[in-house]
Structure 1
């Protein structure tokens, strides 16, 4: 009933430009352009827009249309077609993910804001202001938008690969079950024939033994089948657990500024520190000291004649080495804690004197006893 009504509606479709009807031309294809969503036949599109952009030929519409934007209508209702296109375009720009927000409430607010924008564009409420906000957001957050689009594409491809793998595994399981069923059926048939043959050729006392033996074989086969099924179930459960763990541990690197203007509640993005240049000395500076800085010149009446004497400098003598050695010896004691050394020395002297007095008292006591 519904199909008949749809076919009648298709036959009644008329191009608003050339007034051709599908009833007279069953091969007619209608195309729409997302700029205005006016439907026209394919021949009119080729005739009007093949030479370049032109205005929409529908009366009252002044939109400039291009031929490469025309496409076949997906939904029967043009309103649904327009809403789907608007929703796809907005979600292509506002594609923030839940892990980018500080809380679940902030993410829910973002989803509500996105639905409000879609509703405004669908209902034609503040279209210019909304479009300006979207364009500004897209220009300011191009890097994060592209990163999320790449993540979505990777997730879609991994989902398709996982679905293909699951379908292949299901096909292999069905094939294995079918083969197992056929093998078991043939074994049962062969066992039944062997059982009947042995009964026909044996005595009445052997019937019970033959029956018990056949029952044991069936029990062994059923037990082996149950253990194999349990092993397959455990393997599938482990595989599902691994997939869940991998999906939970997967991290997403997001780029872009935290304050986007349009979207609120995003986490602060920490910019990694730039790598420092490689230092082969691991921070060691040969002439750097903790307590002094070596200068290239120190005024001295004793050193001035040496500094100007070519005979002293010809053998490779360098005054900077003298400066470095002298300052190092002068400041060498700054790393020593004199107070602690004095206390340790006094404690050592006190213990030594105590031991000496004890030894002398022991000697005097031995002499008096003698």
Structure 2
């Protein structure tokens, strides 16, 4: 008997052709223990209240008579049947995050034109993302929910107006798309009719020329007359097509203006203050105070290093050495030891005066509890 463990069988995933949901044969209902392996038509539902998955039969059996507690051990949340739905994403965490973002986005639906400055709009977006992040990751849920509910109560009318505006924009966009498809279909039909009309005119002109030639007319005169008639018809047809195109363009422009009619200028826009230049050093200026570095110095060591290929091939710059030497030479010019001693003595005298005023000697001040 072989001691080698059998290979692990990977779960088989397939996509439901009706809903597009990715399903696995290893899915098992945690309530009735039914598996999709034994029942391929088994449907699993989730409730956005707790996102615990259970089969459709258990949902009908437990929640048909009204709200009930979640049967999953340790949950206990009250669930309602009408909120159960099929899972859209394979990962339940992604499912939950998408639902939370939809909920937050439906409430915080203000637009950039609702703010006076771009900075205020960016701050608003930052606050919305903070609330979304806290709700997704369970951080400060109580405080975050209070903030969410307070905003909903304070801006209820504005939220409803923005939602209605979004619905109107979607309807206008759908109508514009439908109109564009209809116009494209009409243009194709017009092009087809024009092509058929042109073929018919060519055939009629050919028959007319043949009839005239059969009647004994001059061939050259008949040919020129036929070309003139055909050219006139073609020019008339092109002029009619151009007029139709101009009328259609004017109608499209008028329709677009009606669909995109927006009253602007009612809210006073503040001109944003110019942003200051970014200073990565926070105001620190590394400027030499006591000397100015020159491009060249008459010194044998520097001249030899400048001419030595071994020194300069690796990118070494002799000015770095000159700068370090000058810094070392001037490093002690700003230090005055006598002044420091005087300041130290003055501080010591002040400390002694304070100690005498309190009534304590130096030894007592040191050993005082």
Q: Same fold judged by TM-score > 0.5?
A: yes
Alignment correspondent of 2:236: 224
Paired residues of 2:50 and 2:77 also in contact (CA < 8 A): yes
What is the deviation of 1:46? 0.7
Paired residues of 2:100 and 2:136 also in contact (CA < 8 A): yes
Alignment correspondent of 2:220: 208
Structure 1 residues 43 and 60: alpha-carbon distance in aligned structure 2, compared to 1, 3 A threshold: same
Q: Does 1:76 align with 2:90?
A: yes
Provide the alpha-carbon RMSD of the alignment: 3.1
SS in 1 for 2:45: strand
SS in 2 for 1:6: strand
What is the deviation of 1:135? 0.6
Q: Aligned partners of 2:259 and 2:153: how far apart in 1?
A: 31
Structure 1 residues 197 and 98: alpha-carbon distance in aligned structure 2, compared to 1, 3 A threshold: same
Structure 1 residues 100 and 213: alpha-carbon distance in aligned structure 2, compared to 1, 3 A threshold: same
What is the deviation of 1:118? 2.2
Alignment correspondent of 2:169: 155
Alignment correspondent of 2:262: 250
Q: Aligned partners of 1:117 and 1:196: how far apart in 2?
A: 84
**TM-score scaled by length of structure 1:** 0.59
Alignment correspondent of 1:39: 53
SS in 2 for 1:102: coil
Paired residues of 2:115 and 2:121 also in contact (CA < 8 A): yes
Q: Aligned partners of 1:11 and 1:109: how far apart in 2?
A: 47
Alignment correspondent of 1:331: none
Paired residues of 2:63 and 2:80 also in contact (CA < 8 A): yes
**TM-score scaled by length of structure 2:** 0.59
| Correspondence for 1:13 among 15, 27, 30 | 27
Relative to its length, the structure with more helix (as a share) is 1
What is the deviation of 1:28? 1.9
What is the deviation of 1:246? 4.2
Q: Aligned partners of 1:100 and 1:47: how far apart in 2?
A: 49
What is the deviation of 1:196? 4.1
What is the deviation of 1:27? 2.5
Paired residues of 2:69 and 2:78 also in contact (CA < 8 A): yes
Paired residues of 2:205 and 2:230 also in contact (CA < 8 A): no
What is the deviation of 1:149? 1.9
| Correspondence for 2:109 among 85, 95, 100 | 95
Matches within 5 A, 1:276-291: none
Alignment correspondent of 2:360: none
Structure 1 stretches lacking a partner, 5+ long: 255-264, 266-370
Alignment correspondent of 2:307: none
Alignment correspondent of 1:129: 143
CA offsets, 1:24-76, max 9 Å, x none? 22322221111122221110101111222222223443322111111122333
Alignment correspondent of 2:209: 195
